[in-house]
Amino acid sequence: MSSAAHSVIEPSATSKRIAGGIVVLYAIVSMIPLFWIIATSFKTPPDSIAYPPKVLFTPSIEGYCNLFTTRTRQTADYINSLPPATSFCDETTRKRNMVIAGQSNFVPRFVNSLIIAFGSTFCAVFLGTLCAYGFSRFKVPLADDLLFFILSTRMMPPIAVAIPIYLMYRELGLSDTALGMILLYTAVNVSLAVWLLKGFIDEIPREYEEAAMIDGYSRLQSFWRVVLPQATTGIAATAIFCLIFAWNEYAFAALLTSGTAQTAPPFIPTIIGEGGQDWPAVAAGTTIFLVPILVFTILLRRQLLRGITFGAVRK
Amino acid sequence: MTDANASILERAAETAARATPAPVAARVRGLSDKAVAWLFIGPTMLLLLAINIFPLIWAIYLSFTNYRANRPNEPIKGVGLSNYRRILGDHDTWLAMQATAHFVFWTILLQMLIGFALAYLIDRKFRGHAFGTTIILVPMMLSPAVVGNFWRFLYQPQIGLFTYIVSFFTGIPPTEIDMLSSVTLAPWAIIIVDTWMWTPYVMLICLAGLRSIPDYIYEAAEVDRASNWRQFWSITLPMALPFIMLAVLFRGIENFKMFDMVNLLTGGGPGSTTEVASITLKREAFEKWRTGFSSAFAIILFVAVFGLANIYVKVLNRVKSR
Amino acid sequence: MKSLSRMTFGLASALFASTAISNVAHAEDLTLCWAAWDPANALVELSKDFTKETGIGMKFEFVPWTNYADRFLNELNSKGKLCDLIIGDSQWIGGSAENGHYVKLNDFFDKEGISMSDFVDATVVGYSQWPKNTPNYWSLPAFGDVVGWTYRKDWFANPDIQAAFKEKYGRDLAVPATFAELKDIAEFFQKREIDGKTVYGASIYTERGSEGVTMGVMDVLYSYGFKYENPDKPYEMEGFVNSENSVKGLEFYKSLYDCCTPPGSSNSYMGEGIDAFKSGQVAMHMNFAFTWPGLQKDEAVGGDKVGFFANPAGPNGDKFAQLGGQGISVVAYSERQDAALKYIKWFATADVQKKWWSLGGFSCLKAVVEDPGFAASQPYAQTFLDSMAIVKDFWAEPSYASLLQASQKRFHDYVVAGNGTAKEALDGLVADWTEVFEDDGKM
């Protein structure tokens, strides 16, 4: 974003201070739910449902224990007959008259999320860069129509897309597979990727490649050696968008996967305790799930800002 | 191919390239531009054809049948337009459309107001505005499903933080604030969460709009001694309007499709109060398994979004060219 | 760029390796799919013996009740291979048999000498047979379940509370014999202060997404005289589903929801019910019997503080209860059907069934439940037997999901959202169900 605007007409110091105050207040209020998720993940189950809600509490990792394990309630006699507890989680569980029955499915689901989100992002950016370059540099027949068609595929409600995909994947044996999900997310993301990247590549002067080609580079070489290095910012911005979509996606994952390839978003809401949701465990799962996105947001905020505003201006 | 191999090949190609005139070189080693174009665009088109277009055509075909995905052995029977007639004549469809319209209207209104106000304030460039912007952005990066699910906890009567805070400021007993159970409050519960998540997005687009206004216009206004109020109404707002309208378009399309957050927060309840179109569609398609019927519904929704968006873009272009 | 391509290559190979490894690890194990609830965790504990005996590892895929039908019917309909064994809900049996999701077990039962007459009759009809009352078996009864009630025995026994109740209603505070009495008691407890805490009357089913509100409403409607169809003329519903008595029953359910449930009960099913009872919020609690072992063992409200009773009678003295529970089936798409059948064979043995009961699983084997010591073996055992004797179940037709969706919507719209009247809700339900059966060509 350009920082040169309004250099002459400076707002007064007071108005700046008031503006700053309001924005900071909004930022704080909008962070409360996030703060509460993290705080709840370190509460014990009784603390988490205390009234009034507890802001100060003794931290506990019981929520994380419950996130990674499944437990069964047993009588005190049965528990006393077991060998002594070996871990902190074991001990906490037994204090609640329960024993750890086994591992929960959280870790495999998280790994699925990583594989599918990164896999599809890579494919979408790869295909998207090639396609965007093609549209940017060559005369493609019906280019405008094709570009509009590419973008309009994003207007379909996900459930509407899922109906035929469900049938198709059933015939192809792609239901509940990582490959199926990667293909689907790639297809959804590639439209955005083409659209964003075409803008970035349009900005790179053609003269660079032409000069390289006069120097003896082939078309492919000049694309690889000249255009790609120039487009890295754009590619990074696009990649973040694709990654955020694929990481957060819920509707397709809930309908087209059931276990083997299920990702974290449909899994986390199904973490329950003995009764309804085990909120500390849900909060723990949510926290772990949010960490990668928070890190990305903060590390890559510049590219991100550029991508959003850029995409908007282009469209 | 390993890296070492690749670089040897490349080097060989480079030496060859230097020795040959460029056009010849291109023909010998490289592909023609046309071939490259198809090579680059082809895979994406193929993927979109396979995952988007083919299923869409299939869905159009199914929408004229009584097919049920949970009974693959039954013969598929053509039913003509009866699926469409049933949907458009069904009272419940219109209730779902009303719920969707209510949700879309209020989320857009709130997000535009708050988002624009924030952008306007951030454009004052107080110290630390860049950092503030980043913090404000965080909610829109989060998963609507995962975070929406957690909002259920915040909305719990009594123990929920949201109800507690509201009751603290209003004095209404926290057991009486039933955000998700009450027919009047539940539609607002989903609006609040969506506004919380997506106001930052609107804010960013508005900010881009505000920053696109050239300084000289304001300078000219200063010379004319136009008041700040006048400047806002006659310069800032009209010039940022195309951006605001874009934000409306994006949020409108997204919220028309809304499924994940509402599904986890209220599941369409209480009763059918918050049953937006996507939730009805999911019930028909993946719970009742009326595949043909729900395909017809999906097509209707798609045509609706597509049609509305196209009309809107026409209006937008007119505003832009003014 | 070189580093980028190297990274890509690394990522790709890591991807490949990780999927390959996970496939190897999966090859031998059996995956059993069920709902995420107490009995499932008990089954994990029980199955450790199976692994010890046979060397076949067990993996589990448990999904909360509110997603259970959605997820696993989706899985079966997509011919998924996730589950080798599935403990599927009783109402799925029609669809799963007709669409070939389950392996038919008759030959296997004959070969292994497993006799269905060794299992409680109601559970065999409810969980195993399709068409009903014919000797075609698609599963082995695994977990008997039925809707019943738990109550706070300690509050009911408190002299002060008893006195206050007697003063108000002119009779002793005791386990209700009729639904009318149940409502009196619930009203009496609603918003009463006990031990410095505000408590509420009863927790009942109101969940919208899956089957909650239907299970709760039906549990009450049966005793009011509701019938699914004309006993002499199948699929004739007019005058049976929406009979005058059914209307009264539905009105009763709504009045119970309006007067006597804790705040925020608009979407509560088994899990929320357990939470409400365990947190000491409610005096009575409608839930499936599976919750009873856990509540009995609970440190806060268990032991002497909890009591159990079967459904009270309706206005005409009828007493029925909603059947729950499931049978265990082999999934037709599984590649490990032999090992899966081995598991069923192991599970059907009397010793395993006895241990199943002791761990908190409701066995359906007659040898277990008809054992003279059974009724006294747990405080809830007699209530379980009483309830199992009066069960009725929802439609088990292949279109059960559509039928259920219709009742979920009609009931939730009326009971929770307060739209229209009970008569309109039931008339609408007849219309919806008629449409479903017409689409099926059954009417």
Residue C7 falls inside a structural domain: no
Distance of alpha carbon C216 from alpha carbon C411, whole angstroms? 10
Cβ of B158 within 8 Å of Cβ of C263? The answer is yes
> What does pLDDT average to over chain A?
86
Sequence letter at residue A123: C
Contacts of C416 in chain B (CB under 8 A): 181, 269-271
pLDDT score of A309: 63
Q: What number is the average pLDDT over the span A144-158? A: 79
The residue count of chain C comes to 443
For testing contact with chain C, the best of B70, B82, B260 (most C CBs within 10 A): B70
| Segment C165-221, tens digit of pLDDT | 999 999 999 999 999 999 999 999 999 999 888 999 999 999 998 899 999 999 999
The answer to whether position C22 is within a domain reads no
Over range A123-141, report the average pLDDT: 90
Q: Point out the least confidently predicted range of A98-107, C169-178, C257-266.
A: A98-107
Please compute, for residue B229, the number of CA atoms within 13 A of its CA located in the half-sphere on the CB side. Answer: 0
Distance CA B169, CA B175 (A): 14
Spatial distance between the Cα atoms of C141 and C119, rounded to a whole number of angstroms: 7
CATH of domain A107-264+290-314: 1.10.3720.10
In a domain, C347, yes or no: yes
Q: Do B164 and A282 touch (CB under 8 A)?
A: no
- Interval A3-27: pLDDT, tens: 334 444 667 888 888 888 999 999 9
| B253-262 average pLDDT score | 92
Contact A72 C45 (CB under 8 A): yes
* In the block, residue with structure tokens 């404000």: B136
Average of pLDDT values for B260-276? 90
Does the beta-carbon distance from A157 to B278 stay under 8 Å? yes
Please tell me the predicted confidence (pLDDT) of residue C151: 97
Q: Which residues of B touch A277 (CB under 8 A)?
A: 152-153
Q: What is the ipTM of this complex?
A: 0.88
Q: CA of B74, closest CA in chain A: separation in Å?
A: 15
Q: Which residues of A touch C298 (CB under 8 A)?
A: 73, 97
> Which candidate from C2, C198, C412 shows the least CB-CB separation from B269?
C412
Q: Is residue B134 pLDDT above 60, yes or no?
A: yes
Chains contacting B (3 or more CB pairs within 8 Å):
A, C
Shortest distance between the Cα of B245 and any Cα of chain A, in A, equals 11
A275 and C78: CB-CB below 8 Å? no
Every domain of chain A with CATH number 1.10.3720.10 lies at 107-264+290-314
Q: Do B176 and C263 touch (CB under 8 A)?
A: yes
- Architecture of the domain defined by B84-321: Orthogonal Bundle (1.10)
The pLDDT value recorded for residue C18 is 43
> Hunting for tokens 């890579």 — which residue is that?
A122
Cβ of A122 within 8 Å of Cβ of C67? The answer is: no
| Contact residues of B toward C, CB < 8 A | 3, 6-7, 66, 69-73, 156-158, 175-176, 178, 180-183, 266-273, 283, 286-290
The answer to whether C272 faces chain A, any CB pair under 8 Å, is yes
- Specify the higher pLDDT residue, C331 or A225: C331
More confident site: C283 or A260: C283
With contacts defined as CB-CB under 8 Å, which chain A residues touch C14?
Answer: none
pLDDT confidence band for B13 (50 / 70 / 90): very low
Of A140, A283, A290, the CB nearest to B142: A290
For the segment C8-33, the average pLDDT, to the nearest whole number, is 55
Q: Contacts of residue C8 in chain A, CB cutoff 8 Å? A: 122
Q: What is the mean pLDDT of residues A97-109?
A: 87
Strand partners, A70: A102
The partner residue sitting opposite B270, judged by closest CB among C74, C95, C266, is C266
What is the token pair recorded at B298? 């999906």
Instruction: List the 34-53 stretch of C: residues with Cβ below 8 A of A.
Output: 36, 38, 41-42, 44-45
Q: Provide, as residue numbers in chain C, all residues whose Cβ is less than 8 Å from the Cβ of A97.
A: 297-299
Which residues of A are less than 8 Å from C36 in CB distance? 270, 272
Average pLDDT, chain C: 89
pLDDT for residue C6:
46
- C-alpha C400/C-alpha C69 separation (Å) is 11
Q: In the structure encoding, which two tokens stand for residue B235, read together?
A: 């310069």
- Residue B20 pLDDT exceeds 50: no
Does the beta-carbon distance from C41 to A70 stay under 8 Å? Answer: yes
Neighbours of chain C (3+ CB pairs under 8 A): A, B
CA separation for the pair A97, C298 (Å, rounded): 8
pLDDT confidence of A124, banded at 50, 70, 90?
A: very high
DSSP annotation of A173 = T
Q: How far is B257 from chain A (nearest CA, A)?
A: 5
Asked whether the beta carbons of residue A150 and residue B144 sit closer than 8 angstroms, the reply is: no
pLDDT at C19 over 70: no
3-state secondary structure string, chain B? CCHHHHHHHHHHHHHHHHHCCHHHHHHHCCCCHHHHHHHHHHHHHHHHHHHHHHHHHHHHHHCCECCCCCCCCCCCCECCCHHHHHHHHCHHHHHHHHHHHHHHHHHHHHHHHHHHHHHHHHCCCCCCHHHHHHHHHHHHHCCHHHHHHHHHHHCCCCCCHHHHHHHHHHCCCCCCCCCCCCCCCHHHHHHHHHHHHHHHHHHHHHHHHHHCCCHHHHHHHHHCCCCHHHHHHHHHHHHHHHHHHHHHHHHHHHHHCCCHHHHHHCCCCCCCCCCCHHHHHHHHHHCCCCHHHHHHHHHHHHHHHHHHHHHHHHHHHHHHHC
| C361 has pLDDT over 80 | yes
User: What pLDDT score does A315 carry?
Assistant: 42
C-alpha torsion A223→A224→A225→A228, nearest 10: 80
Q: CA-to-CA distance for A20 and A13, rounded, in angstroms?
A: 10
Residues C51 and C106 in one domain: yes
Check CB contact under 8 Å for A128 and B44. yes
Q: Give residue B16's pLDDT.
A: 42
State whether B269 and C266 contact (CB < 8 Å). Answer: yes
| C68 has a pLDDT exceeding 80 | yes
Residues of chain B contacting residue A186, judged by C-beta atoms under 8 Å apart: 47
Tell me if C251 sits within 8 A of C422, measured CB to CB: yes
Contact A79, A97 (CB under 8 A): yes
Secondary structure letter of residue A292 according to DSSP: H
Alpha carbons B258 and B97: distance in angstroms, whole number: 12
Residue C310 and residue A147: Cα distance in Å, rounded? 65
Q: Does C61 touch chain A (CB under 8 A)?
A: yes
Answer yes or no: do C274 and A224 touch at CB < 8 A: no
In a domain, C300, yes or no: yes
C249 and C331, same domain (yes or no): no
pLDDT in tens, B279-294: 999 999 998 889 999 9
Report whether C321 contacts C391 (CB < 8 A): yes
Q: What is the pLDDT of residue C386?
A: 93
Q: Which other chains touch chain A, taking contact as 3+ CB pairs less than 8 Å apart? A: B, C
Q: Tell whether C439 lies on the interface with B, counting CB pairs under 8 A.
A: yes
Of the residues B181, B262, B272, B282, the best mutation for testing chain C's interface (the one with the most C CB atoms within 10 Å of its CB) is: B181
Q: What is the pLDDT of residue C37?
A: 86
B22 and A CB contact within 8 Å = yes
Interface of C with B in 176-205 (CB under 8 A): 198
Residues in chain C with CB shorter than 8 Å from the CB of A272 are 36, 64, 271
Within 8 A of A45 by CB-CB distance, chain C residues are: none
Chain A residues with CB inside 8 Å of C293's CB? 73
Q: In percent, how much of chain C has pLDDT > 90?
A: 68
pLDDT surpasses 50 at A140: yes
CA distance A74 to chain B (A): 28
CATH of the domain at C275: 3.40.190.10
Asked if C276 and C268 touch (Cβ cutoff 8 Å), the reply is yes
Element (H, E) at C423: helix C422-440
Could you give the number of structural domains in chain C? 2
What are the tens digits of pLDDT across the range B158-201?
788 999 999 999 988 888 888 998 889 999 999 999 999 999 99
Q: What confidence score (pLDDT) does residue B6 get?
A: 39
Q: What is the mean pLDDT of residues B249-264?
A: 92
Q: In this structure, are C106 and C183 located in the same domain?
A: no
pLDDT above 70: percentage of residues in chain A = 94
- List chain B domain ranges: 84-321
pLDDT at A206 over 90: no
Bridge partners for C309 per DSSP: C149
Taking the alpha carbons of B220, B223, B228, B233 in that order, is the dihedral positive or negative? negative
Tokens of B68: 């049920």
How large a percentage of chain B has pLDDT more than 70?
90
Q: CB distance from C239 to chain B under 8 Å?
A: no
Contact between residue C226 and residue C250 where contact means Cβ atoms under 8 Å apart: no
Tokens of A211: 């000069």
Asked if the model's pLDDT at residue A241 lies above 90, the reply is no
- Give the tens place of pLDDT for each residue, A35-72: 999 999 999 988 888 878 888 999 999 999 999 988 88
The reported pLDDT for the residue numbered B137 is 87
Q: Hey, which residues does B65 pair with through a beta bridge?
A: B78
Q: Do B181 and C263 touch (CB under 8 A)?
A: yes
Domain interval for residue C312: 147-322+395-440
From the list B158, B250, B259, the residue facing A251 with the nearest CB is: B259
Q: Are C41 and A102 in contact (CB under 8 A)?
A: no
